């Protein structure tokens, strides 16, 4: 039998170029599906600096985490590209 996991589950990701911010993926279970909220937060206060995206209807918590991390990476890459042109 699978161990019960308490949701939401939060995973934190260090951001290479910013020691003051973290990526946060919050995973929730809604019935049979899993959703991931993707944010960039202040490292000390954990207040949201930027809401990035919400991933809906994933079939597992692991899949929701993987897609959430991909969305965070895509967002950070787009910000980096924009900053190169300004």
d(CA 86, CA 8): 38
Q: Check whether 2 has a pLDDT greater than 90.
A: no
pLDDT at 4 over 80: no
**What is the per-residue pLDDT for 1?**
39
Q: Is the peptide bond before 16 cis (omega within 30 degrees of 0)?
A: no
DSSP string of 2-20? PPP--S-EEEEEE-TT-TT
pTM value is: 0.88
Higher pLDDT, 34 or 85: 34
């Amino acid at each position: 039998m699978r161990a019960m996991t308490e949701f939401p589950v939060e995973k934190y990701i260090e951001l290479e170029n910013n020691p003051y911010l973290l990526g946060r993926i919050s995973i929730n279970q809604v019935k049979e599906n899993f959703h991931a909220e993707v944010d960039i937060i202040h490292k000390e206060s954990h207040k949201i600096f930027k809401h990035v995206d919400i991933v809906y209807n994933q079939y597992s918590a692991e899949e929701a985490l993987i897609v959430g991390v991909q969305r965070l990476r895509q967002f950070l890459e787009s910000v980096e590209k924009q900053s190169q042109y300004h």
